[in-house]
Structure 1
Amino acid sequence: MGSTLRSRNPKGGGSLYFNYKKFHSIILMALSDAKYKFLFVDVGAGGAGDGGTWQKCNLARAIASNRAGLPQDRNLPNDDEPIPFHIVADDAFALNMWLMKPYSHQSQDPTEQIYSYRLSRACRVVENAFGLLQMRWRFFGTTMQQDIQVCKKITLCACVMHNLALQYCPLAGTDVDYEDQHHNVVAVIFRVVFLS
């Protein structure tokens, strides 16, 4: 999934970093695990949406050429058939053998609606990871004034620090969105542990 980070237009940048939301930005493309840790980040593409950025990103190329080092297929609980790992994404991404996304058509039957709903809930994990990143480092909520190359380095460093914070100051179950006993999502306003 991608997150748009506001930046000033670099000298000679023209419209390269101007996005459809009508401001200049770079894109943070990230893959996270279920515990909000970034497993992969690619920073710095400009202008294109998530789908276009994904096509140019190093991880997409590594997966396509079988060099990504994805985990081996594993059995699900109470099952004896190995299942491959998949990346869960939103509708902006192209469907692939290793990428799952919700159904895009409006006339979904009940089974497709359940699938799309559950998959969209899984996508909230990476969206929450982006939210945690922005809450920890508030400058992501403003326009970064540094040169694009410096913005990329700052963003990469923040992602590393995000992972360290999760490792040394784990989140409680109620610090982020969670399911209640009836499987309803309880949206949480982030209560983030800050490193000092």
Structure 2
Amino acid sequence: MYIDVGAYGKSSDSAIFQQTDFYKKLMRNTLNIPEPLQISENSTTLFPYVFVGDEAFGLSTNVMRQFGGNNLSVDKKIFNYRLSRARRYIECTFGIFTNKWRIFHRPLNVHTELAKSIVRTCCVLHNFVRARDGYSYDDTLTVTGFETITQRNFTRGGRAATTTRDNFMNYFVNENPLSWQNNCIN
């Protein structure tokens, strides 16, 4: 697990992300991500390991984001649906975390260094409790709201990033479709 603590809540997620060592290593290809692999028996296409971002994040070969726009093809809508399913898990994880550690239901009115310590401590304790006790349904009963982030304009990640996203789209549509995905995009 990787955490980077210390950014102000007023900053956008993407701006915070771009200031982290994690992002810098990701962009320099020094993050030690496993090599791309073939995920389909029907294709020799290699798929890189990717992180899921929302509209505020830039597209890269290792960061996937949805297609933008209103008049999207069915295939692009399906890709967006499948990516949003993955993002839902991320949002639920934060909801579980904040429900377990209710100190995050309100602003932390403490000095910056103490706030960093509180966040780090809760992350360590959260992992310890989950390893010791396993999953708890009670953690998921109250989901807190998430702040809406402002969209930032990023340059596209180039041809390799676009190709990677298109490869995932084709995989979701043609090689590994969910039986209900077409119903969910209409």
TM-score in terms of structure 1 length: 0.64
Match of 1:163 among 109, 112, 127: 127
Between the aligned residues of both structures, percent identity stands at: 25
Checking the alignment, whether the CA contact within 8 Å between 2:66 and 2:80 is kept in structure 1 is yes
Matches within 5 A, 1:15-54: 39-46=1-8, 47-54=10-17
SS at match of 1:163: helix
SS at match of 1:42: coil
User: Within the alignment, does 1:76 sit opposite 2:76 as a pair?
Assistant: no
Distance 1:160 1:175, change over 3 A: closer
Match of 1:64 among 24, 27, 30: 27
Checking the alignment, whether the CA contact within 8 Å between 2:48 and 2:61 is kept in structure 1 is no
Q: Which is further off, 111-120 or 65-74?
A: 65-74
1:127 aligns to what? 91
SS at match of 2:2: strand
| In 2: Cα distance, 1:71 partner to 1:126 partner | 21
Matches within 5 A, 1:91-106: 91-106=55-70
Structural RMSD (CA): 2.6
Instruction: Tell me the CA shift for residue 69 of structure 1.
Output: 1.3
Q: Which gives a bigger RCO, structure 1 or 2 (Cα 8 Å, sep 6+)?
A: 2
- Kindly provide the amino acid, as one letter, of the partner of residue 69 in structure 2: H
Q: Which is further off, 72-81 or 157-166?
A: 72-81
User: Within the alignment, does 1:144 sit opposite 2:108 as a pair?
Assistant: yes
- Kindly provide the amino acid, as one letter, of the partner of residue 50 in structure 1: D
- Kindly provide the amino acid, as one letter, of the partner of residue 14 in structure 2: G
Stretches of structure 1 that go unaligned for 5 or more consecutive residues are 1-38, 185-196
Distance 1:166 1:78, change over 3 A: farther
TM-score in terms of structure 2 length: 0.68
Stretches of structure 2 that go unaligned for 5 or more consecutive residues are 142-178, 182-186
- Kindly provide the amino acid, as one letter, of the partner of residue 3 in structure 2: V
1:88 aligns to what? 52
Distance 1:172 1:137, change over 3 A: closer
| In 1: Cα distance, 2:35 partner to 2:28 partner | 16
Which protein is richer in strand relative to its size? 1
Which protein is richer in helix relative to its size? 2
Q: Deviations over 1:86-123 (max 9, x none)?
A: 11111110111111011121211111111101101101
